[in-house]
Amino acid sequence: MRSILPLALIMGALAGLLVGGFMNVFNVPVMEWAIELEGAAAAAEAPAGEAEEEATGFLSTLETLGAQRIGLVLGLAVLGVVYGAIFTGLFHLVRRAFPGWNIWAWALIGGVLCFWSVSLFTQLKYPLNPPGIGEDGSLLARQGFQFLFILLSVVAVIAVTLVLRFTHEAGRESSQRFLAYAGTAAAYVVVAVALFAAIPGNPDPIPEWVPEGLIIMFRTFSILGHLLLWMIIALGVSSYTRYQERGLRATASPAAGQEMASASRQ
């Protein structure tokens, strides 16, 4: 099988465009709601003479957010390209760990592992919040710890796939292989729990003016967007690869038939 990297990068960009549309429809209104609430809270706390200036400032923020809808789509397209590269690496690791399976299984497992290690596990540690939540002073530290968490999470999943590959290549009996798989899963759980506990989380509290329903909606739509992104990449790569393979077989079959007919005439 040839490298799927170019195809995965293209699928990642397309997936980012599609998910960008999804986020514009579902999550941007939630972000606008959060900005309106932040503006109302700031205006209520400001002195009477500054209330009008606060309201004008937040109206301009809403206009900027509206203009950034296209930027959100383009940003997700770039993120999709990055995700396509990550998917390519884990796909090939899964393919070597389970060589007897088909491309649909490899792609699905690779997509699920990517979604877990990069998106879902990270959101459990660093829940996403809408605009206006979080202190500017802690932004750099939060982003640094979050990047470190994602990196170590992906490394842990890569280690699992490598152990599974070596277990399969060792040619052990079914009972020994089952114990090796169970031991690998238990070791990963221990590492994941240690990683979750060791790296500092988000220190910024949720302001009182933010309704719980807004937070739930924003985080739900965000994680659904990540799931769609990974699954579009995985299913898109596997579908197009299978389509190409069928086309090559269909092209090769008539040529093989002509060669056999020519040999029989001779």
Average pLDDT over residues 12-17: 97
Whole-prediction pTM: 0.86
CA distances from 79 to 30, 55, 68, 126, 174 (A): 21, 33, 16, 18, 41
Is residue 51 over pLDDT 80?
no
Is residue 3 over pLDDT 80?
yes
Secondary structure, 3-state, 86-137: HHHHHHHHHHHHCCCCCHHHHHHHHHHHHHHHHHHHHHHHCCCCCCCCCCHH
The confidence score (pLDDT) of residue 46 equals 61
CB 98 within 8 A of CB 106: yes
122 residue type, one letter: T
Average pLDDT over residues 76-80: 97
Average pLDDT over residues 2-10: 92
Instruction: Give the chain's mean pLDDT.
Output: 85
Distance CA 210, CA 35 (A): 10
238 residue type, one letter: S
Positive or negative torsion for Cα 225, 184, 105, 248? positive
Determine which of 13-17, 162-166, 244-248, 250-254 has the lowest per-residue pLDDT on average.
250-254
Average pLDDT over residues 234-258: 80
Would you call 123 exposed, middle or buried from its count of C-beta atoms within 10 A (0-12, 13-18, 19+)? middle
> Who wins on pLDDT, 7 or 59?
7
pLDDT category, 206, cuts 50, 70, 90?
confident
pLDDT category, 250, cuts 50, 70, 90?
confident
The confidence score (pLDDT) of residue 67 equals 63
Distance CA 78, CA 65 (A): 19
The confidence score (pLDDT) of residue 258 equals 54
The confidence score (pLDDT) of residue 69 equals 83
Highest mean pLDDT out of 49-58, 112-121, 126-135:
112-121
Length of the chain: 266
pLDDT category, 1, cuts 50, 70, 90?
low
C-alpha torsion angle, residues 3, 80, 25, 62 (rounded to 10): -170
Query: What tens digit of pLDDT does each residue of 127-178 get?
Result: 988 876 777 777 788 889 999 999 999 999 999 999 999 988 887 777 888 8
For 216, the token pair is 């739930």
> Who wins on pLDDT, 232 or 46?
232
DSSP-based three-state secondary structure for 259:
helix
CB 161 within 8 A of CB 94: yes
Distance CA 39, CA 57 (A): 8
> Who wins on pLDDT, 123 or 171?
123
- Residue 32's closest CA among 128, 123, 139, 132? 132
